[in-house]
């Protein structure tokens, strides 16, 4: 299509170029265009949070964001949380694995990037704050208890790793 | 501490420990691969045209224009693959696409495979279908009427109606027990449908390749049933079909049937010889449904002067929607699973499942037992209240003991109901709180009972229900082959834990391969809470067979008799002379001398059990789980909104092989049960689903979910693997009635219909206020 444009996106600290139509949705561009399949598609309408990514450090439903609006902005996906150090995990990912934050795991990437945004803003959140910050994400497996525990545990473990850029 | 199931002389390393799931890191990093994450070269997009009518004859389908559209590679209609399938051999009533008629809005009419989504959608729009609408059956009562053949949803129905299945059972002397009872009540309960709402929409990818073989990757709980159904519908032998199960984003019963879209993807791929992927949008997930049956249950309870349950008299009318699915089983379960966790000597059940022109219902966590359980436990609470008994005490008095038989001949081995009640009561401070909380706050208790796998497989044949193969090669790693589907419940971890425990190895030695029918032996899959019990037993047996070979090798290498060796900490150790030891890898090499890579097999089949009457097999299980929950809540008296604060969830899981995973199952079950009692409702307007999305179909969010306190009760089942029984479904059952009973404690109102939303509570409070005002006036 003639209106397709090459977008320059800054994803997980790297510049990436991708062709996108004006109505292209960020989630589609990430998953289909760039092969970043860690970000999940649960509803396509902003209700589940499985597709959450960070846009300039704030969590957004990537299924509701136009890719064209993301130029010159920092996008962080679940893949971008992995520390440089090969084999190491981000404290949230570590805590998630240890406390049983994932069962089927389909919601995990969305929860984890959302929790990351919270911990960047408030490194020592209360349980209530954690639940509020995660209230746009749905999990059908865990009853949220171990998810909340994982966030609190990651917060306690201190956040050694800077990510995203 | 020693344990009845410990391996002699071998320290316990893994069982009973909090082990992170073996795939936890992959899931936390986004590296876990789900079906929609798989990319194959040349993959086409498959889309399904859906019916706009709840019930209509298909007069004609014209696909010419769609086929001519550039970018379209295949168009499919129902007549091309009319073979019927269905999960139960007795209800083969589904086809890949509708053949002569459509049965609900959203029913599958035709399908296309195209280069991209836009082309596929455009092609759907070009398919011309001529319908002749028929009378739609949307209420269960309408389906009870005898109707002419063309108005029946399926050819096999009861007495010319749209009743799919009718069952009756009676044991003891129910009428007499009711006559003689000191307390009796019969009430009508109504339950709206609810659905699984897993986060991963259905997705399937089929590739009919140049070798003339079909490989299908699908989000399924039961690869084996899918395998069978594909073979039937495609009219191809099973060995030419390979089913692969990638990571599954939640199932809860909703991915346990073989589905039309799976048949469709395979058929489309066979037509155009390209990989075809069908990914549902959320709305389509709702049309696919297979969720919990809406039901109307009339429940009669009789109690003796001494506070013992004398009789149950249950009549259930359940709404099956358009297809059979697991419905025959559901029809039985709605009655028979009321035979625990309390002793009942007189039992009568009449159940009917009807077809209606709505998306099909099927199995959902707590399959068939949830709604009846609600009715039962609410009535028990009423009885206790009327008889002046403490509801917890009353339940204890009726607790089903271990090593007994129920009146319908369920074989009870272990029963932890007593301990569940006692521990939930203690942890919740029940005695201090019950009856003493201020108006608007309340506490309630309820019990539960569930199967640990169905003792009789749905295909009545002689093969084991679970088989596990192990392979060890020079590298020493143990590959575990099984078709038990990991769907997030942690079954891969369970298998690895058991095998590593028996072999005295670190869990990292185990590689679990449970996703490919080409390499894994048959397992009946992840439903009916069967996997830990059945696949776990098979894994244990396989590992023991492998261990025997390794111990033999150690004996051969050292000249000591095989009996003195055990495997511990990566070595074969002579227990009489602990300095004599053979490293694991050396034992492996020695054992390989005769045959190359080591292989071992284990399997499980339920022992014979049960009565001889009609329907005796329904609900039979090698063992049962028990649970008792206490819920505490607070009602906002201004708005009526009930807020559940705490749930103490005591569950008898036999033995917690992995407490972390067991807690996870309990917490998830509590969450799902709370959704059904407080907010979830599958709504219709006519035959239209009103709320096919996760905004209007309300599952509880992180802020709405209470504190959940799992309490693990361990009864060490003699036949369970290392004592274990199920924990994935039973813990859903007591949540709903515990909340309703707590609401009664809080505001003195009983609710007989779900969900108990704020507006219902508000109206009840209003009525109460008015009544009080009238009384006050009269008293003046
Ligand atoms: S897929 Fe974006 S919120 Fe569900
Ligand atoms: S772990 Fe399955 S949805 Fe959250």
For the segment B403-425, what is each residue's pLDDT rounded down to a tens digit?
999 999 999 999 999 999 999 99
pLDDT surpasses 60 at A161: no
CA-nearest residue to B285 within chain A is A43
Q: By the 8 A CB rule, do A81 and A113 touch?
A: yes
Q: Do B197 and A37 touch (CB under 8 A)?
A: no
**Per-position b or e across B40-59, b if 16+ CB within 10 A of its CB:** eeebbbbbbbbbbbbbbebe
Token pair of A75, please? 């996008």
pLDDT at position A163 over 60: no
- Residue B341: pLDDT above 80? yes
Q: Hunting for tokens 């479904």 — which residue is that?
A: B729
Backbone angles phi, psi at B633, to 5 degrees: -145, 170
Mean pLDDT computed over B37-42:
96
Give per-residue burial for B601-638: e unless 16+ CB within 10 Å, then b: bbbbbbeebbeeeebbbbbbbbbbbbbbbbbbbbbeee
The residue written with tokens 């008095």 in the block is: B397
Whether residue B424 is preceded by a cis peptide bond, meaning omega within 30 degrees of 0, is no
Rounded-to-integer distance, Cα B158 and Cα B354, Å: 9
Q: Is B577 exposed, middle or buried (0-12, 13-18, 19+ CB in 10 A)?
A: exposed
For strands B478-481 and B510-513, give the pairing.
parallel
Q: Given CA atoms A146, B289, A106, A111 in this order, what sign does their dihedral have?
A: negative
What's the rounded mean pLDDT across residues A65-93?
Answer: 95
Cβ density class B155-172: b for 16+ within 10 Å, e for less = eebeeebbbbbebebbbb
d(CA B40, CA B721): 40
Compute the average pLDDT of residues B343-360: 98
Q: Please tell me the distance between residue B697's alpha carbon and the centre of ligand 1 in angstroms.
A: 15
Q: Which of B701, B660, B700 is nearest to A149 (CA)?
A: B660
Residue B772: pLDDT over 60: yes
**Strand, helix or coil for residue A155:** helix
User: Any chain A CB within 8 A of the CB of B332?
Assistant: no
**Ligand 1 geometric centre to CA of B183 (Å):** 52
Q: Binning pLDDT at 50, 70 and 90, where does residue B338 land? A: very high
First to last CA, chain A: 33
Rounded mean pLDDT of B728-749? Answer: 98
Q: Is the pLDDT of residue B495 over 90?
A: yes
A91-156 fold = DNA polymerase; domain 1 (1.10.150)
Query: If you average pLDDT over residues B757-778, what whole number do you get?
Result: 93
Does any CB of chain A come closer than 8 Å to the CB of residue B252? yes
Kindly state the percentage of chain B with pLDDT values over 90. 96
**Residue A137 sits at the chain B interface (C-beta within 8 Å):** yes
Shortest distance, CA B92 to any CA of chain A (angstroms)? 30
Residue with tokens 């037509």: B271
Structure confidence at residue A164 (pLDDT) = 38
* Closest C-alpha residue for ligand 2 atom 4: A139
The shortest CB-CB distance from A93 to any of B29, B281, B661 is to B29
Which of residues 59 through 88 in chain A touch B, CB cutoff 8 A?
Answer: 77-79, 81-82
| Mean pLDDT (chain B, rounded) | 97
pLDDT reading at B738 higher than 80: yes
Euclidean distance between CA atoms A148 and B701, whole angstroms: 12
Q: What is the pLDDT of residues B578-612, one digit of tens each?
A: 999 999 999 999 999 989 999 999 999 999 999 99
- Both tokens assigned to B95: 């086809």
Instruction: Supply φ then ψ for residue B451, to 5 degrees.
Output: -75, 155
C-alpha B331/C-alpha B333 separation (Å) is 6
What pairing do the DSSP bridges indicate for beta strands A14-20 and B108-114? unpaired
Q: Does B198 touch chain A (CB under 8 A)?
A: yes
Tens of pLDDT, residues B92-125? 999 999 999 999 999 999 999 999 999 999 999 9
How far apart CA A46 and CA A59 sit, in angstroms, is: 12
**Of the candidates B412, B328, B333, B408, the residue with the CA atom closest to the CA atom of residue B154:** B328
Could you tell me if B675 and B737 are in contact, meaning their C-beta atoms sit under 8 angstroms apart?
no
Decide: B101 and B137 in contact? Cβ < 8 Å. no
CATH pick for A5-79 out of 3.10.20.30, 3.40.30.10, 3.40.50.720, 3.40.50.300:
3.10.20.30
CATH class name, domain B368-453+619-767: alpha beta
Percentage of chain B beyond pLDDT 70 is 100
Instruction: Name the token pair of A84.
Output: 């440089």
For residue A40, the CA-to-ligand 1 centroid distance in Å is 8
| Secondary structure (3-state) at B76 | strand
Strands B642-652 and B707-713, sheet pairing: parallel
Handedness of CA B620, B493, A38, B663 (dihedral sign): positive
Answer whether B633's CB lies under 8 Å from B442's CB: yes
> pLDDT category, B1, cuts 50, 70, 90?
low
Looking at 3.40.50.620, 3.30.360.10, 3.90.1170.50, 3.30.450.20, the CATH number of the domain B35-134+196-288 comes to 3.90.1170.50
The fold adopted by the segment(s) B24-32+457-604 is Aldehyde Oxidoreductase; domain 4 (3.30.365)
Is the pLDDT reported for residue A165 higher than 50?
no
Q: Which residues line ligand 2 (CB under 6 A)?
A: A 102-107, 139-142; B 199, 250, 488
Give the H/E segment covering residue B459: none
Q: How far is the CA of B13 from the centre of ligand 2 (A)?
A: 28
Sign of the dihedral defined by the CA atoms of residues B693, A49, B292, B748, in that order: negative
Mean pLDDT of A70-83: 96
Q: What confidence category does residue A2 fall into, taking pLDDT thresholds of 50, 70 and 90?
A: low
Locate B503 and state its tokens. Answer: 């072999």
Residue A141 CA: nearest ligand 2 atom is 2
CB contact under 8 A, A106 and B198: yes
Spell out the residues 6+ positions from residue B161 whose beta carbon is closer than 8 angstroms to its own.
Answer: B143, B144, B145, B146, B147, B152, B354
Give the number of other CB atoms < 10 A from CB of residue B774: 10
pLDDT tens digits for range B512-536: 999 999 999 999 999 999 999 999 9
Structure tokens at B172: 């003891």
pLDDT score for B5? 81
CB A11 within 8 A of CB A19: no
Ligand 2 atom nearest residue B199's Cα: 3
Using CB atoms and an 8 Å cut-off, which of residues 484-503 of chain B contact chain A?
487-490
Question: Do residue B250 and residue A140 have CB atoms under 8 angstroms apart?
Answer: yes
Q: Is the pLDDT of residue B342 over 90?
A: yes
Please tell me the distance from the alpha carbon of residue B649 to that of residue B628, in angstroms, as a whole number: 6
In B597-714, which ranges are E strands?
Answer: 598-604, 624-635, 642-652, 684-685, 688-689, 707-713
Q: Do A104 and B21 touch (CB under 8 A)?
A: no
Domain ranges of chain B: 24-32+457-604, 35-134+196-288, 368-453+619-767
What's chain A's Rg over C-alpha atoms? 16
Contacts of B410 (CB under 8 A, 6+ apart): B336, B339, B340, B610, B619, B620, B621, B624
Q: Tell me how far apart the alpha carbons of residues B702 and A9 are, in angstroms, rounded to a whole number.
A: 32
Q: Nearest C-alpha of chain A: how many angstroms from B31?
A: 6
Cβ–Cβ contact A25 with B under 8 A: no
- Under the banding of pLDDT at 50, 70 and 90, the label for residue A160 is very low
Dmax (CA) for chain A in angstroms is 52
Q: Assess whether the region A5-79 and the region A91-156 belong to the same CATH fold.
A: no
Domain boundaries along the sequence of chain A: 5-79, 91-156
Using 50, 70 and 90 to split pLDDT, how confident is the model at B4?
confident
pLDDT band at residue B384 using 50, 70 and 90 as cut-offs: very high
Instruction: Tell me the mean pLDDT in the region B630-640.
Output: 97
pLDDT of residue B13: 86
């Amino acid at each position: 299509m003639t209106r397709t444009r090459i977008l320059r996106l800054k994803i997980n600290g790297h510049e990436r170029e991708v062709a996108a139509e004006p109505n292209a949705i960020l989630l589609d561009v990430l998953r289909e265009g760039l092969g970043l399949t860690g970000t999940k598609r649960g509803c396509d309408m902003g209700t589940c949070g499985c597709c959450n990514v960070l846009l300039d450090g704030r969590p957004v439903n990537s299924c509701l964001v136009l890719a064209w609006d993301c130029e010159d902005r920092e996008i962080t996906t679940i893949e971008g949380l992995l520390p440089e150090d090969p084999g190491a995990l981000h404290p949230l990912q570590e805590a998630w694995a240890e406390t049983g934050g994932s069962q089927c795991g389909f919601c995990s990437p969305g929860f984890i990037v959302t929790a990351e945004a919270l911990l960047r803003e408030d490194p020592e959140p209360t349980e209530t704050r954690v639940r509020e910050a995660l209230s746009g994400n749905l999990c059908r497996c865990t009853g949220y208890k171990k998810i909340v525990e994982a966030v609190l545990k990651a917060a306690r473990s201190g956040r050694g790793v800077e990510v995203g850029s | 501490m020693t344990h009845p199931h410990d391996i002699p002389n071998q320290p316990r390393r893994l069982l009973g420990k909090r082990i992170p799931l073996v795939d936890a890191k992959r899931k936390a990093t986004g590296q876990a691969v789900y079906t929609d994450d798989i990319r194959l070269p040349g993959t086409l997009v498959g889309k399904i045209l859906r019916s706009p009518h709840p019930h209509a004859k298909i007069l004609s389908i014209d696909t010419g224009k769609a086929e001519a559209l550039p970018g379209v590679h295949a168009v499919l209609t129902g007549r091309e693959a009319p073979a019927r399938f269905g999960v139960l051999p007795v209800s083969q009533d589904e086809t890949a696409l509708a053949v002569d008629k459509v049965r609900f809005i959203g029913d599958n009419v035709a399908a296309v495979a195209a280069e991209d989504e836009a082309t596929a959608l455009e092609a759907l729009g070009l398919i011309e279908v001529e319908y002749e609408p028929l009378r739609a059956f949307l209420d269960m009562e309408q389906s009870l009427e005898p109707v002419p053949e063309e108005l029946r949803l399926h050819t096999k129905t009861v007495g010319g109606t749209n009743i799919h299945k009718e069952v009756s059972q009676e044991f003891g002397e129910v009428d007499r027990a009711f006559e003689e009872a000191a307390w009796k009540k019969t009430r009508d309960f109504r339950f709206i449908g609810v659905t699984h709402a897993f986060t991963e929409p259905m997705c399937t990818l089929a590739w009919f390749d140049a070798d003339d073989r079909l490989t299908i990757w699908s989000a399924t709980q039961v690869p084996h049933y899918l395998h069978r159904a594909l073979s039937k519908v495609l009219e191809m032998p099973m060995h030419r079909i390979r089913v692969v199960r990638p990571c599954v984003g939640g199932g809860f019963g909703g991915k346990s049937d073989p589905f039309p879209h799976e048949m469709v993807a395979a058929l489309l791929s066979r037509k155009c010889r390209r990989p075809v992927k069908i990914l549902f949008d959320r709305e389509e997930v709702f049309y696919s449904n297979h969720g919990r049956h809406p039901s109307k249950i009339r429940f009669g309870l009789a109690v003796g002067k001494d506070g013992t349950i004398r009789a149950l008299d249950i009549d259930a009318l359940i709404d099956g929607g358009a297809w059979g699915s697991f419905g025959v089983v559901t029809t039985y379960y709605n009655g028979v699973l009321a035979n625990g966790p309390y002793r009942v000597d007189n039992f009568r059940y009449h159940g009917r499942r009807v077809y209606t022109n709505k998306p099909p219902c099927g199995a959902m966590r707590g399959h068939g037992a949830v709604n009846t359980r609600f009715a039962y436990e609410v009535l028990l609470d009423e009885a206790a209240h009327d008889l002046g008994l403490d509801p917890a005490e009353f339940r204890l008095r009726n607790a089903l003991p271990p090593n007994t038989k129920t009146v319908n001949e369920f074989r009870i081995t272990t029963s932890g109901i007593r301990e569940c009640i006692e521990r939930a009561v203690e942890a919740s401070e029940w005695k201090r709180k019950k009856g003493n909380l201020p108006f608007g706050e309340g506490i309630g208790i309820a019990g539960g009972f569930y199967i640990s796998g169905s003792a009789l497989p749905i295909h009545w044949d002689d093969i084991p229900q679970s088989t596990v193969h192990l392979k060890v090669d020079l590298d020493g790693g143990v590959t575990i082959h099984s078709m038990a589907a990991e769907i997030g419940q942690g079954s891969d971890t369970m298998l690895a834990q058991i095998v590593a425990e028996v072999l005295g190895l670190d869990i990292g030695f185990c590689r679990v391969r449970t996703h490919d029918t080409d390499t894994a032996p048959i397992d009946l899959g992840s439903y009916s809470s069967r996997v830990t019990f059945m696949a776990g037993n098979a894994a244990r047996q396989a590992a023991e067979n492998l261990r025997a070979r390794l111990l033999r090798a150690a004996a051969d290498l050292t000249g000591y008799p095989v009996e003195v060796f055990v495997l511990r900490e990566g070595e074969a150790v002579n227990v009489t002379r602990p300095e004599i030891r053979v490293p694991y890898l050396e034992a492996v090499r020695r054992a390989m001398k005769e045959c190359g890579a080591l292989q071992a097999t284990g399997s499980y089949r339920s022992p014979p059990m049960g009565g001889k009457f009609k329907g005796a097999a329904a609900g039979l299980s090698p063992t049962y789980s028990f649970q008792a929950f206490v819920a505490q809540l607070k009602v906002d008296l201004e708005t009526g909104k009930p807020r559940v604060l705490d749930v103490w969830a005591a569950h008898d899981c036999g033995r917690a092989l992995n407490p972390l995973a067991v807690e996870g199952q309990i917490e998830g079950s509590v969450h799902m049960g709370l959704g059904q009692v407080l907010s979830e409702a599958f709504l219709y307007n006519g035959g239209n689903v009103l709320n096919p999305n996760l905004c209007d179909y309300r599952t509880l969010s992180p802020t709405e979910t209470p504190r959940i306190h799992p309490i693990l009760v361990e009864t060490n089942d003699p036949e369970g693997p290392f004592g274990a029984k199920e924990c994935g479904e039973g813990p859903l059952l007591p949540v709903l009635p515990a909340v309703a009973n707590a609401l009664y404690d809080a505001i003195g109102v009983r609710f007989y219909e779900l969900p108990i939303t704020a507006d219902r509570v508000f109206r009840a409070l209003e009525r109460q206020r008015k009544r009080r005002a009238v009384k006050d006036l009269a008293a003046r």
